[in-house]
Structure 1
Amino acid sequence: MPDPKLKSVRKTLQNSKANTRRRAVPVRTAYSQAEREEIFRRFSIQRPEPRGELAHTNPFTLVVAVALSAQATDAGVNKATRALFKVADTPQKMLALGEERLRDYIRTIGLYRNKAKNVMALSQMLVDEFGGEVPNKREELVRLPGVGRKTANVVLSMAFGQATMAVDTHIFRIANRIKLAPGKTPDEVEDRLMKVIPGHYLYHAHHWLILHGRYTCKARRPECERCVIADLCKSPEKSCDVPAPLVELPPQVIGEAVE
């Protein structure tokens, strides 16, 4: 006769596995593997070495720039940090600068008072807990004040060369608009993109998607006539089926770059 306790344990394990399967984010995309390969092959030809457009000089200035960029444009942040990073490019120098003087440098950026508090707090934590160095692990980065998962992913990619997917408004819009990796939340989109993007294209993928959303697949009106994947795109908003010529774009110029 089967042991009732053993039977109960087995049932509990089965229920646990079933719940785990239900919680997992399913792979969802409107594109075949071959189509996804072709999409990112074209992006790789168009922009062989895509770059983020926030000017920075080291991992610390990158963390600060990304934290300041929330609800602000990269160009606006670059304009404000051009002078700031010349005098405060380490946590120690930022603390010596002080919150009041920091506010003077970034007052043209939205929510600058709260952002100044976060920059000072994250600088203090970097000094106190990380020896003044920016950590290269996501779970440590997100502990820093003003640093969320998106910021952490940007830093891991741009400062430490890790393949991550920083889902900003552009990527969230594109993933849903063209049905590449639809999701209701940035976390869902991130998880699905990491699964559907071919591995050998993953490192540059978030920059390709951001730049595509910023300059071609725009929020108000996608410029389908300038899109190199117009023939592959499955968006119901698409206005053109003829792809733009597949040529390498001129090198990016980061506006107001730090000298």
Structure 2
Amino acid sequence: MPAAAGDFLLGGDRRVSRLGFGAMRLALGGRVRHPEAGVAVLRRAVELGVNHIDTAGFYGFGDLQAHEMIRQALSPYPADLVIATKVGPLLEGGVVPTGQASAGQLRGLVEEDLRRLGRDCLDLVYLRVGGMGQPGGESIGERFAALAELRGEGLIRHLGVSNVDAIQLAEARSVAPVAAVQNHFHVNHRGDSDVLTRCEQEGIAYVPFFPLGGGRDPIDQAPIVRVATRYRASTAQVALAWLLARSPVTLAIPGTSSLDHLAENTAAAGLRLTADDLTALAG
């Protein structure tokens, strides 16, 4: 159960389980073919103790829209449920985002998320920067300031940044408090350790996207398989357990469109890796 992973005080006032749920695969890249199936997965996740769901307005294809599934499945929302969303990417008529919103366009995206999720205030909004390339190389201060203004109006509770480097994180923090960072990081993709260290120092939640590789980086390499075999666990469970062990500020948000995989992922919260396991996986 997610509670076995322990919890984290997000932004100093919202306590969430360190093992949550990512909604992307309910609408993109998963096996769900009907919204009702996604609704069932969401309801089961909350029944299992998940109280942190990560989504975005651009997670959707046709009738499969993450925001709408979340609202149908869970509204009226449990009092302890934290829904995080991301703004910044623009679909521009397609399925994959191809543009970035300007500072002046962010209000409309936030208001749309409020409407689609059926909320008066969004718990956590990330400014998602750039595409799928490496972070860095552009200023985010003006756009983050636009979100900070919406936070001041009570439309957003906490702010985060996604796909940023250490310089961009520092720039955002000079504008307004940052409660969470969502970057690419997992057991076989560890290049973001400097940002993770900064988050540890500042008590900022670090929420890796693609915690199981996202289909890009396999997690069935020999060291992971050996640890998984020893515990009679799956490689996905070991990868999630590694993230939770890597730092007390990491929050894992594995996504799935399968009830069986949901049960497997949440069970990873109870897997405790030893120091020897971590050394083996470091190699």
Q: TM-score range by the shorter chain?
A: under 0.3
Determine which structure has the larger helix proportion and give its number: 1
Determine which structure has the larger strand proportion and give its number: 2
TM-score, structure 2 normalization: 0.26
